[in-house]
Amino acid sequence: MRKAGKIGFIAVFCAAIGLTFPVFNVFSKQLSMDSHENRLMTGLPQVLQSPISQLPRSLDNFFVDNSPFRYQFVLLNAGLDYALFGTSQSDQVLPGKDGWLFYKDGPTAAQPVANYQGLTDINDSPEVLAQASAKLQILNDRLAENGCTLVLDLTPSKDRIYREYMPDGYPIVNEENRTDLLVAYLQSHTTVPVNWPYKQLRSQARLDPDRLLFYKTDTHWNSIGALYGLDGVFNALGLPTLQPGDYPVEPAGTTTGDMANVAALYASLPAEQTYTVPGYADLFAKDDRVVRVIGDSFSEYYMPYLEARFSTTWREHIDSFDPALIDQPGCDILILEFNERSLDKLLTILESL
């Protein structure tokens, strides 16, 4: 009887697993979901092209990535973890208070949590700061010789802007973090305009807490935060701006934050409001200069404002930076933009000059 029971249990288990495939295929239109994962899923071509030694792992990855009801179970597991324990399925997402998500230490980031806390062991040495400022000045002077004005735009992460929503387990140890110290050094040792709008954005976030400047579930600022941040660049260039409260702002739609997607919380947390500034192109006279932006994803959010104010603009990702542009910048204004979690990349680029 015990053997028969075991066989029966195995048969029921196999049937339940096996039936998921035909059931899912029959109702695939109703049950299929878009992938929100920030990676390429394993497909059959990858399996067929795998070497024999890697075939077992490729098959396992294929079945895991393509199993029926995969997304439903992932969503359920992530939602339960978040609701019951306040934890995230992703090692790059740190759940905060009131539905806020923050970027955690990742493979390409300059230790964002340690930078948020102001831990001194990640600060740059005097030698590194001196070399960076010297190279930045050289870049500035060479570009000026070729008719191009340089602006270094360092964009803040949202953790200190909205520090009240960070988990209590990550206290701020020093108010001045690595970015503050780097900015202060560059501003006192070079003639390069350095835009670092942390204090302005923090002040505005506290003054008007209902008008969010960053998405709660995304790593980036929204279009309003990008506008306020870009105004610092315009001020450095001697261009007119408005006071933050004087810009007309209207809701434009909704979006899902990238951290909500990565942590499979897009069904557990509400969609985010997006905004637009109607009539922005009519607020200022058109500038006939050419603007080139080389930056990370933060600069993408303020490109519509640049396009509205200048005759010609374009943007390239910072990974495409080529020192050859010093002699042929192809622009009147060059904005180099780095988010503060990309400071290591900034130092690497300056070191290569």
Q: Which residue reads 């261009």 in tokens?
A: 239
Token output for 154:
């360092």
Mind listing the pLDDT tens digit for each residue in 214-257? 999 999 999 999 999 999 999 999 999 999 999 999 999 999 99
Which phi and psi (to 5°) does residue 254 adopt?
Answer: -135, 160
Helix%, strand%, coil% for the chain, nearest 5: 50, 15, 35
How far is Cα 318 from Cα 293, in angstroms, rounded to an integer? Answer: 9
What kind and span of H or E run contains 310?
Answer: strand 310-317
Q: Give residue 22's pLDDT.
A: 54
Token output for 45:
């071509």
Q: What is the pTM of this model?
A: 0.82
Mind listing the pLDDT tens digit for each residue in 301-328? 999 999 999 999 999 999 999 999 999 9
Q: How far is CA 123 from its chain centroid?
A: 22
pLDDT, greater one: 92 or 20: 92
Residue 15 has pLDDT above 80, yes or no: no
User: CA 184, 187, 190 angle in degrees (round to 5)?
Assistant: 135
Cβ pair 295, 336 in contact under 8 A: yes
pLDDT, greater one: 46 or 230: 230
25: confidence class by pLDDT, cuts 50, 70, 90: very low
Q: How far is CA 164 from its chain centroid?
A: 20
Mean pLDDT to the nearest integer, 282-288: 96
The three-state secondary structure class of 183 is helix
How far is Cα 303 from Cα 314, in angstroms, rounded to an integer? Answer: 8
Domain ranges across the chain: 101-352
Beta bridge partners of 194: 152
How far is Cα 83 from Cα 89, in angstroms, rounded to an integer? Answer: 12
pLDDT, greater one: 22 or 161: 161
16: confidence class by pLDDT, cuts 50, 70, 90: very low
What kind and span of H or E run contains 75?
Answer: helix 70-80
